């Protein structure tokens, strides 16, 4: 099970959906939704309507902090 993800794959100016993040990091959509609900990725959510749209810059910052806390 992969526990670290390469956040450098994220483009800063690009909006991401749950599905596009799942494809980018090779995880399931449920995993990305778990990040949003349980681990604080909700700070990157721009629009709460489905499909959820998230900012790439905020996802990158969150992922960097989240992985640093887990070390």
Question: Is pLDDT above 90 for 45?
Answer: no
Summarised one tens digit per residue, pLDDT across range 5-31 is: 899 999 989 999 999 999 999 999 999
Confidence of residue 60 (pLDDT cuts 50, 70, 90): very high
The answer, as to whether pTM is greater than 0.95, is: no
CA gap 41, 13 in Å, rounded: 17
Q: Domain boundaries in the chain?
A: 11-70
Would you state the structure tokens that stand for residue 15, as one six-digit string?
A: 């909006």
Q: Which CATH architecture has domain 11-70?
A: Orthogonal Bundle (1.10)
* DSSP helix/strand/coil, 28: coil
């Amino acid at each position: 099970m992969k526990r670290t993800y390469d956040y450098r794959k994220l483009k800063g100016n690009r909006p991401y959906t749950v599905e596009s993040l799942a494809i980018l990091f090779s995880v399931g959509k449920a995993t990305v939704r778990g990040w949003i609900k349980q681990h604080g990725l909700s700070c990157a959510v721009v629009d709460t309507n489905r499909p959820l749209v998230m900012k790439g810059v905020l996802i990158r910052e969150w992922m960097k902090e989240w992985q640093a806390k887990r070390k």
